[in-house]
Structure 1
Amino acid sequence: MSIPFYKRVLRVAAPLLALAALLAAGAWCVSELPDLSANAGRTVVINEVCVKNLTGLTDADGETGDWIELINLSGEDIVLDGWGLSDNPDRPYKWTFPEGTVLSGGANNIMVLFADGKNGYDAAGSLHTNFRLSRKGETLVLTDPDGGTVDTLGYDSQEYDLTYGRLRGDASRVGVLAAPTPGSANSTRFLEETVQPVDLGEVEFSAQAGFYGEAFELTLSCDDPDAAIVYTLDGSLPTTSSNIYTGPITIDSREGDANEYVSLPSAFLGEWVVGYACDYAPDPVAKATTVTACVYKDGVLGEAVTTQTYWVGLENYTLPVVSLTAEADDLFGPEGIYVPGQSYYTLRKYGSTDRVGNFTSSEKIDARIQILDTDGSELLNADTTVRVSGGWSRLDSVMKNLHLKLQDGATSGLLDQAPGGDALDTLVLRGSGNGSAYTSLHQDAFLCNYLYGLDVGTQYNQPVVLFLQDEYWGVYTVRESKNTDFFLRHYGIEEDDLICPGTTPDEQAQPEKSAFGLGVDALDATTPEGMAWVEENVDVDEYIRYIIAQMYTYNADGLYNGGNNSILWKSAEVDEDNPYADGRWRFLLNDLDATLIDVEVDPFAYLLENEFSFETHETAPWYSVIDNLFQKLWASAEFRQRFAEEYRREMETIYAPENIVPAFDAWAELLRPEIGQDLARQKVGVTELAPLADQILGYQMEPWEMNVEEWEEQVDYVRDYFTRRADIMLDYLDQYLQLAEEGAA
């Protein structure tokens, strides 16, 4: 399958340029107008960007934030009220211009904005956006009030103090400019012009991606006899300096090849990068070979890039296989998104002890993804962007979560059991490193799948085997992303109508949450007026199901941690034709890794014996109103009866051992054939620096390894939990109902 290829910029290795005669920040003046003859039809363009502003333009605070320059080519003043600027074409109004912003069409037709996240005007009157620019490259989009795209500008990874933009006099030509010119006309020369790919046809492969028993010769061909083919074997995109195809390529077994990436240090322990004292995956893991090729003619690369991944000498896996490849440095280099990298070492150099690394950012990189089904058939072959996601797992796990956004209209049918899941363009790869309670059991994914039809906001999951940069990375689960699209697919709520703290803009969501929290603080659920307020503001039936699921699993990193990992949402608009668009709060189950730990644990005590007022806890970032609401509602005899009825029904059906135990056994059986290799990948040895870590941290580094028998013990423990928990839950319900009745008497 061919992948449309664009965004090709030849990287420039150039020294930092000294900026001469920088204009004042936010200035919009130019001594002479550019030649507009080559810009027919253009009004406002994104003219120049500086992504790594180190020593150049400063704002009113003396800081060198990244910046974006706009130029008005229309010849008339343009009022920018309602215009949007964004670094995400799928979210075009990420930042909007303040009311009354005018971009002149005369001599002062250039505007410089700082893209540094400060949002608003500074003391010098310069505008700042609410987003920052990605150092790895992205696409900026300028949108008018009617939703029309006025201009876009895509750029690749840039060097410090260089700028990327349009050639003066011809806005259709872009590249790395000869000199930065914020606030004045762009240079008439490029250090390196972006070479636009052309349609030269596709490279044909003699073998499709898949598993092969023995080595074989791969031949590449194209329709044009006068063209060449360039290719890579390391996951990177071909360039004009890549290998030129001259004959068959031998695709051989890589058994025993030393690990290049899977063993790299990519986690923290206190103030120590664990990898220096620990040897991750000390034994060679399974490996693949990815061939990426395109046609090359007359110094120009073809726009169609074809990628195929091959496994030689390996048997098919019993789970679908995901192959994810990119420029190796984008993942594992000094600025790579998967490692501590430059961010960590720079901060340490200047004395910071914050647990910050490259992997704590939201940087996106370009990559390619292939998914093969268990029968070897291809499910997906596409371009994608990738970023690291998750919370603490970014810092302490070597099997990090990855968030993927498929490009060029590509969709995946891997999650076809989810609403709209047969055509998803956003996927999350979730590693077993999140399993804080159990290693490689993926209990979060199991519980989400099992409770999927209960309408408590779970994400559907599909276990897969991940190969990252052609190295075996372990068993992951592919799941839906809880983005705005999730709410549209599941509940029919458009992004503009959604209020969800942490997902939708804070300026609307947080005041709504605060008002709800203070309303719960003032609630007296023992009165008709109090219960009426609850019914008006909360989907009580959904809330009861949500609470029961949290209590049954005893989510220690959720409900039983001050509401950590809680997600609440509502529709801002009321639509009588949509039962979810009624303006009432609802709740989503989220992050069920720290669950199923103690079958005997009391699910009521924490919720009824602690103080949860929103006024007291609202400064705590993890706090939600969910615990407080339950405590207030439990005082109501009406609510207790309603809650108890649903509670008993679910313990006798959904959570009954005869139902949940077979489902869990089927889940364990699904994972079992792959667990041996998965656990071997997670093996950790120690290096000769381990004693030094002990001296510095007072922490003794120990080797770690888990075998299949120990994994089976985990399975038995969780099976016992599911076998006994429902009866234990019913006993606790009776106990606390009796206490409530005695207290009321």
Structure 2
Amino acid sequence: MSFTKKIVSLVSAASMASALVSAVPSVYAEDSSALLINEICTQNKTSYTDSYGKASDWIELLNAGSSAMDISGYGLSDDPAAGAVFSFPSGTVLGAGQRILVIASKEPSDGSELHTGFSLSKSGDTVILYDKSGNAVQTVEIPSLKEDETYGRAPDGGSSFAKMEATPLAENKSAVAEPVFSMTSGFYGNTDNLALSLSSEDTIYYTLDSTDPTTSETAKVYSADIPLYDRSSEPNVYSKYQHDNTAQSIILSTNYKASSALFDKATVVRAAAKSADGRFSPVVTNTYFVMPQDKLKFYTDIPVVSMVTDPDNLFDPDKGIYVCGNQFLEWKKNNPGAFKSEWDADNVANFFSKGKAWERPASITLFENGELGFSQEMGIRIKGASTRNSQSKSFNIFARSEYGDSKLNYTLLEDNVSKITGKKVKKYDSFSLRAVGWVDRMRELAVTDPLKKLDDLATYDSRRCMLFIDGELWGMYDLMEKCSDYYIQSNYDIPAENAAIIKNGELEEGTDADYDEIEDISDYCEKNDLSRKEAYEYVASRIDIDSIILHYCAGLYLGTWDWPNYNYMMWKNKGEPIEGNPYSDGKWRFGTFDLDYSAGLTYASFGGVQGYAHDSFRKMDKSVNDTPTTIFHALLDNEEFRNRFAATFSSFATDVYEPEKMVAIIDSQEQQYMPYMVMMSWRWNSGTPKKDYSGYSADETAYYHKELNTMRDFFRNRPEYAMKFMKEYLGLSSETAFLTVKADKGGTVKLNGSILSLSDGKWAGSLKKGDKVTVSAAPDTGYTFGGWTGAVTSSDTEISFTVQNDSVISCAFMRNSFEKGDLNSDGSVSVADMLLLQKHILGNQSFDEEIWNRADMDGDSCVDSLDMVLLRKKVIAGR
């Protein structure tokens, strides 16, 4: 493509094609400082359509000088290490005071439009301008931007940058600056003369009822400090919603009446500045917990989430997502005498409505240890199935670019780590707030804790928090991961665009072909005998065997009621396999979640026995023939699979849900969360909050303690019954005993001379009672053998014993102490370590957390080429 000398005229974006004209001045300025990166759009939706018909991002440059400039050879890049990725073609001239738009896309340039060859990230990026000699003359660090929000010079052509509305090829129009709060969101003692001041060059409008100050009838013009005090003694507003046969009922049935008790409250201040020309700034939302010290201590000992949204988004009859709404009343009118229970899948109500149309904007703020963790504008929806009809509803929370950042950059769950890198997950596209409103919800956190440690079974990490909505106490919630393509990326290092997910029989991510694949596998299982090696191996090439075994072991052992073809997930990588990533092989894997109806809860269908004595294998009757249980049924016809399943199931009794371990988990959770369980009950069951937050009397906790004891009894007694039912179902002899061998990373273990394959750090197999076995341990280089515990305690590397009952034996390997740079754990720092680091930097070698820390030579929490320089120096110095 050739260009003649051109002057770029100041024109509208719509007529950019005519911007390149042939009027040529005789003299061109050579001062590169006159050429400015003036405005950048990283999330264009409507501000500009390129010649390919796409809403591509763009970069505007301005000639701020008094003479025309020949900018041929000037370049742009988004990567400082790459140099100029794009260069202006020969003959490109920019007139004095005029501007040019360059499209940030990978499409080729054409005669009317220039394309950079690179795109920009909406979550923040860098743009560098290079002069004709290849020198970087300007660098602009772009923050995260909303849709059609830009980052530009304010004023136009000036030295400072600010977020603003998009004005491609026109003078920058500075956004109205947000009002500045004198106090950050946080916890404050209830002292006299505590007041909030706001400042802005424009007029400030604010509200104290969580409504939007740019549209609310209650908005006031700020003129004096806003007093801050403990509002808990003030009348409830949003907590008063109940069932009252109107469109604002929060449940469909008539069994909920709001408590008259006064619940704890925070002060929510929402403010926006309004310019002289009538434009508003973005709304700023802050939450202040002003309370006596005992209350502050109560809320300091647990994370607190403040969810703030215009109350109409929750309670308006037409658009409120928390109420049954006018659509329910209309349905009742047209269906006189009809009744729908909370279990009906086709319920007609606002809070049963799903999809993006029923998502509402909200400000989400998290406090930890009384300190501000994060505050971000996000989207909220009602979560769940039948629980949507509960008075304490659950929420899904979404980070979206239309609200601000498309990701939440925060360590939301401290113990949540990638299965591949071992590093903490520090970025989320979504999460859930699940109400802990019933006794069954107390089970989720306890029973999920051991499952998180199983590499081949996906589940959701979580922790408890207290939720306030629009400044009023809502109660205890589980803050937990949410199923999404990004969940697969952050947990399994699979690119989000390559994740296929089927959840509860519905396609969540992927294509119809992915869904059809599962149905095809199910059909194959129904029509073929999987006792045949060829048929079994075909299914094993499509389904991860360890994963499906763990999923069904969990559901059967826990006696999960709303299961097996519900509360499950299947996922796979539909892209190319990734070297070193075992989860990228294209096989379908399972996830298990929503385990509240388990671990001791009993139902009429249980036949009047305790939960631990219920034969959950009845759920495996051949009449349960929906996917994925059809696949599991067929696999059980194969002896190899049957033996693997039986051995793994035994490890749930002896290891995964070992009784005393589970009792300890339940004890810990009771001690930590009992005050908040009681508070949740008071909030939703007509209770009266106690003034003394230091503890609760025995009668107040008796109900919850009894239910927790039901869980303890379940885990103490379940092994005997579960193993009996499993052996009967599989037709195994009562003389069969199962041995589980556990081992730390750092060595190999042999059983009767054969090396064991230790999936998730353990092996399980069946033997006959009375069999004598020999196990031996050999530590890897850099590790030391630490001894045997469990069925046998010994410091000898090889031991023999007789198996009498189902038992567990554990082998300890301890990593030796290593210095920085010793990446192969051989006790020295050498060229071999440099080769490993080079592979890691190039993306061909993954490190676990400990080796990654040793590779971080400069301690900047990043492993890169700078660490290679320091490692090379250390190797040279050591020679």
TM-score tier after normalising by the smaller chain length: 0.5 to 0.7
- Structure 2 CA distance, aligned partners of 1:518 and 1:276? 45
Query: Which of 1 and 2 has higher RCO (CA within 8 Å, sep 6+)?
Result: 1
Question: Out of 270, 279, 291, which is 2:257 matched to?
Answer: 279
- Structure 1 CA distance, aligned partners of 2:545 and 2:518? 17
The number of aligned residues is 547
The residue number in structure 1 matching 2:651 is 649
Q: Which moved more, 1:418-427 or 1:675-684?
A: 418-427
Question: Out of 183, 186, 189, which is 1:212 matched to?
Answer: 189
Secondary structure (helix, strand or coil) at the match of 1:580 reads helix
2:269 alignment partner AA: V
Q: Does the C-alpha gap of structure 1 residues 236 and 449 become closer, same or farther in structure 2, counting only changes over 3 Å? A: farther
Deviation, 1:664, is 1.9
Q: Does the C-alpha gap of structure 1 residues 650 and 42 become closer, same or farther in structure 2, counting only changes over 3 Å? A: farther
Q: Calculate the aligned-residue CA RMSD, in Å.
A: 3.9
The answer to whether the Cα contact below 8 Å between 1:266 and 1:338 also exists between their aligned partners in 2 is no
- Structure 1 CA distance, aligned partners of 2:580 and 2:486? 19
Matches within 5 A, 1:264-343: 264-265=241-242, 274=252, 278-298=256-276, 299-303=278-282, 305-313=284-292, 314-316=295-297, 317=299, 318-334=301-317, 335-343=319-327
Correspondence 1:599 to 2:602: no
Correspondence 1:681 to 2:683: yes
Matches within 5 A, 1:384-399: 384-399=378-393
- Structure 2 CA distance, aligned partners of 1:729 and 1:652? 11
- Structure 2 CA distance, aligned partners of 1:644 and 1:329? 54
Question: Out of 713, 721, 732, which is 2:725 matched to?
Answer: 732
Secondary structure (helix, strand or coil) at the match of 2:570 reads strand
- Structure 2 CA distance, aligned partners of 1:172 and 1:423? 28
- Structure 2 CA distance, aligned partners of 1:581 and 1:587? 14
Q: TM-score, normalised to structure 1's length?
A: 0.66
Matches within 5 A, 1:147-226: 198-200=175-177, 202-206=179-183, 208-214=185-191, 216-222=193-199, 226=201
Q: Does the C-alpha gap of structure 1 residues 575 and 237 become closer, same or farther in structure 2, counting only changes over 3 Å? A: same
Matches within 5 A, 1:655-666: 655-666=657-668
Q: Does the C-alpha gap of structure 1 residues 395 and 143 become closer, same or farther in structure 2, counting only changes over 3 Å? A: farther
2:347 alignment partner AA: R
Deviation, 1:662, is 0.5
The residue number in structure 2 matching 1:257 is 234
Correspondence 1:668 to 2:670: yes
Deviation, 1:172, is 6.3
The residue number in structure 2 matching 1:494 is 495
Q: Which moved more, 1:202-211 or 1:589-598?
A: 202-211
1:655 alignment partner AA: Y
Deviations 1:526-582 (A, max 9, x none): 2211221232122112222221111111111121xxx12221122223334321111
- Structure 2 CA distance, aligned partners of 1:552 and 1:458? 16
Matches within 5 A, 1:230-245: 230-239=205-214, 242-245=219-222
Q: Does the C-alpha gap of structure 1 residues 206 and 533 become closer, same or farther in structure 2, counting only changes over 3 Å? A: closer
The answer to whether the Cα contact below 8 Å between 1:418 and 1:460 also exists between their aligned partners in 2 is yes
Correspondence 1:714 to 2:688: no
The residue number in structure 2 matching 1:475 is 476
Deviation, 1:475, is 0.1
The answer to whether the Cα contact below 8 Å between 1:237 and 1:292 also exists between their aligned partners in 2 is yes
- Structure 1 CA distance, aligned partners of 2:686 and 2:198? 44
Matches within 5 A, 1:82-93: none
1:610 alignment partner AA: K
- Structure 2 CA distance, aligned partners of 1:343 and 1:279? 22
Q: Does the C-alpha gap of structure 1 residues 38 and 275 become closer, same or farther in structure 2, counting only changes over 3 Å? A: farther
The answer to whether the Cα contact below 8 Å between 2:362 and 2:377 also exists between their aligned partners in 1 is yes
Q: TM-score, normalised to structure 2's length?
A: 0.56
The answer to whether the Cα contact below 8 Å between 2:241 and 2:250 also exists between their aligned partners in 1 is no
Deviations 1:71-124 (A, max 9, x none): 9977x7x5x7xx799xxx9xxxxxxxxxxxxxxxxxxxxxxxxxxxxxxxxxxx
Deviation, 1:306, is 5.0
The answer to whether the Cα contact below 8 Å between 2:210 and 2:311 also exists between their aligned partners in 1 is yes
Matches within 5 A, 1:536-555: 536-555=541-560
Matches within 5 A, 1:26-175: 37-40=11-14
- Structure 2 CA distance, aligned partners of 1:196 and 1:555? 59
Deviations 1:446-481 (A, max 9, x none): 222331111211111010000011111010011111
Question: Out of 588, 591, 604, which is 1:588 matched to?
Answer: 591
Deviations 1:239-264 (A, max 9, x none): 28732222222222223333221231
Structure 1, unmatched stretches of 5+, are 1-35, 44-68, 90-141, 156-170, 175-194, 614-622, 686-705
Identity of aligned pairs, percent? 22
Secondary structure (helix, strand or coil) at the match of 2:364 reads strand
Q: Does the C-alpha gap of structure 1 residues 144 and 428 become closer, same or farther in structure 2, counting only changes over 3 Å? A: farther
Secondary structure (helix, strand or coil) at the match of 1:454 reads coil
- Structure 1 CA distance, aligned partners of 2:666 and 2:581? 34
The answer to whether the Cα contact below 8 Å between 2:47 and 2:166 also exists between their aligned partners in 1 is no
- Structure 2 CA distance, aligned partners of 1:712 and 1:216? 43
The answer to whether the Cα contact below 8 Å between 1:365 and 1:385 also exists between their aligned partners in 2 is yes
- Structure 2 CA distance, aligned partners of 1:479 and 1:39? 44
Structure 2, unmatched stretches of 5+, are 1-9, 18-44, 58-103, 108-116, 123-144, 149-164, 339-345, 418-423, 602-610, 688-698, 736-879
Secondary structure (helix, strand or coil) at the match of 1:552 reads helix
The residue number in structure 2 matching 1:432 is 436
- Structure 2 CA distance, aligned partners of 1:592 and 1:731? 23
Q: Does the C-alpha gap of structure 1 residues 150 and 532 become closer, same or farther in structure 2, counting only changes over 3 Å? A: closer
Q: Does the C-alpha gap of structure 1 residues 240 and 657 become closer, same or farther in structure 2, counting only changes over 3 Å? A: closer
The residue number in structure 1 matching 2:374 is 380
Deviation, 1:274, is 4.2
The residue number in structure 2 matching 1:357 is 349
The answer to whether the Cα contact below 8 Å between 1:599 and 1:724 also exists between their aligned partners in 2 is yes
- Structure 1 CA distance, aligned partners of 2:121 and 2:657? 54
Matches within 5 A, 1:8-23: none
- Structure 2 CA distance, aligned partners of 1:72 and 1:648? 62
The answer to whether the Cα contact below 8 Å between 1:230 and 1:296 also exists between their aligned partners in 2 is yes
The answer to whether the Cα contact below 8 Å between 1:209 and 1:310 also exists between their aligned partners in 2 is yes
The answer to whether the Cα contact below 8 Å between 1:405 and 1:425 also exists between their aligned partners in 2 is yes
Larger Rg: 2
The answer to whether the Cα contact below 8 Å between 1:209 and 1:308 also exists between their aligned partners in 2 is yes
The residue number in structure 1 matching 2:365 is 370
- Structure 2 CA distance, aligned partners of 1:150 and 1:431? 35
- Structure 2 CA distance, aligned partners of 1:328 and 1:460? 30
The residue number in structure 2 matching 1:444 is 444
Deviations 1:10-42 (A, max 9, x none): xxxxxxxxxxxxxxxxxxxxxxxxxx9522577
Deviations 1:223-277 (A, max 9, x none): x6x54433221223332873222222222222333322123137999x9954766
The answer to whether the Cα contact below 8 Å between 1:461 and 1:480 also exists between their aligned partners in 2 is yes
- Structure 2 CA distance, aligned partners of 1:661 and 1:380? 34
Deviation, 1:739, is 5.6
- Structure 2 CA distance, aligned partners of 1:205 and 1:70? 36
- Structure 1 CA distance, aligned partners of 2:255 and 2:210? 29
The answer to whether the Cα contact below 8 Å between 2:251 and 2:391 also exists between their aligned partners in 1 is no
Q: Which moved more, 1:360-369 or 1:731-740?
A: 731-740
Q: Does the C-alpha gap of structure 1 residues 274 and 497 become closer, same or farther in structure 2, counting only changes over 3 Å? A: closer
Deviation, 1:412, is 2.7
- Structure 1 CA distance, aligned partners of 2:569 and 2:367? 33
1:404 alignment partner AA: F
- Structure 2 CA distance, aligned partners of 1:583 and 1:199? 50
- Structure 2 CA distance, aligned partners of 1:268 and 1:603? 40
- Structure 2 CA distance, aligned partners of 1:514 and 1:367? 39
The residue number in structure 2 matching 1:529 is 534
1:567 alignment partner AA: M
